[in-house]
Amino acid sequence: MNTPRIDLSLQQLEAFVQVARLGGFRAAAEQVGVSQPALSRTIRQAEQTLGMRLFDRDTRHVAITPAGEELLPIAQRILGEFDSAFSELGQFLQGRSGRVTVAALPSAGTALVPMAIAAFRRQYPQVEFTLTEAPAEALLQAVEDGLVDLGLSVRPQPDQRLQYRHLQDDPMVLLCRGDDDLAQRASAPWNVFAQRPFIASLPHSSIRPITDAVFVQKRMAIRPAFEYPSVSAGGAMVRAGLGLMAVPRLALELVNMTGLVAVPLVQPQSGRSIGIVTRIGRSLPPASRAFMDMLQALARSWGGASPKPGGDRQRGKEAGA
């Protein structure tokens, strides 16, 4: 046998709880911000729905009935859960709770994102994060497919349904051993790669198009001596004496700089643009929008330049620094 549904509104429950708590209709009406006749009508409607009285009242006294005693803890629990649920919704709408999903290039995921998350969590400790790393092509596709809220990546192609917000420029540097003559220079020209073995990134990375474009611009026919699968592996190859690398400055965070030195590359100065990528037409959760604001504020505090990686222009221990 099905129990009939009791259809009391939140307004009726709130009125009932206030009368029970304050012991009178006048004080309860003032508490909920309505007139006393309006509050009395609300209680009568609740009693009609239940088919029994909630209060015994005369001109001088108001007393809760046994039915009211039974309803009171139920009404208090319902109102408490309602307030709690909408408090959680309010936190979400203000960006104070929820989950932010971020995809980043490995260098940005190491050099930029942890600092931004730490700063964000100090203000909004209830927000959770999911961070993934991917090369540029896969990362931009993940943003376009809606698999992540936002990406930290290079500028996408114009034909992609992606919006780009610039954060900072990431200049290219030469990576060599600390005992190399190049390590003593304030800068190095790109034509050094015509004279020494060049260790290149894989074609699908965000670095290879930069180096290829410079070589084309300078009409240099450079054939890589090796291709590295990761920046850290490339650094190990340089340390082993297999050649030189050209990498963005942020990528130094991925390299064990012991025994290595990074030298700015010039003639020409080149680099990549790092920014926030989102899908056009997608509504982001409030927490993700707030995190984007945090990233942009941090970028402004850096003055448009990268936070200085620990190994930049520093010799490692093996080089005596």
Cα 311 to the chain's mean position, in Å? 26
Report residue 298 as tokens: 């941090």
Condensed to tens digits (0 to 9), the pLDDT of residues 96-148 reads 568 899 999 999 888 889 889 998 989 888 888 999 998 888 999 999 998 99
| pLDDT score of 89 | 57
Report residue 106 as tokens: 């490995």
Cα 269 to the chain's mean position, in Å? 31
The predicted model scores a pTM of 0.64
30: phi then psi, degrees, rounded to nearest 5: -65, -35
pLDDT at position 187 over 70: yes
Q: Using alpha carbons only, give the angle 148, 113, 105 rounded to the nearest 5 degrees.
A: 65
Q: What is the mean pLDDT of residues 246-253?
A: 94
| pLDDT score of 318 | 32
| pLDDT score of 311 | 42
| pLDDT score of 242 | 97
pLDDT band at 282 (very low <50, low <70, confident <90, very high): confident
pLDDT at position 74 over 70: yes
| pLDDT score of 319 | 29
Q: Which CATH number fits domain 170-271+311-319: 3.30.365.10, 3.20.20.220, 3.40.190.10, 3.30.70.360?
A: 3.40.190.10
In single-letter form, the type of residue at position 208 comes to R
Q: Using alpha carbons only, give the angle 238, 242, 248 rounded to the nearest 5 degrees.
A: 35
All CATH 1.10.10.10 domain ranges of the chain, comma separated, are 10-93
Condensed to tens digits (0 to 9), the pLDDT of residues 153-162 reads 999 988 888 9
Q: Does the domain formed by 98-167+274-301 have CATH 3.60.20.10? A: no
Q: What is the mean pLDDT of residues 205-233?
A: 94
Name the CA radius of gyration of the chain, rounded. 32
Write down the CATH number for the domain with range 10-93.
Answer: 1.10.10.10
Give the mean pLDDT of the chain. Answer: 86
Interacting residues of 114 by C-beta distance below 8 A, sequence separation 6+: none
All CATH 3.40.190.10 domain ranges of the chain, comma separated, are 98-167+274-301, 170-271+311-319
178: phi then psi, degrees, rounded to nearest 5: -65, -25
pLDDT band at 204 (very low <50, low <70, confident <90, very high): confident
In single-letter form, the type of residue at position 68 comes to G
CA dihedral (83, 84, 89, 91) positive or negative: positive
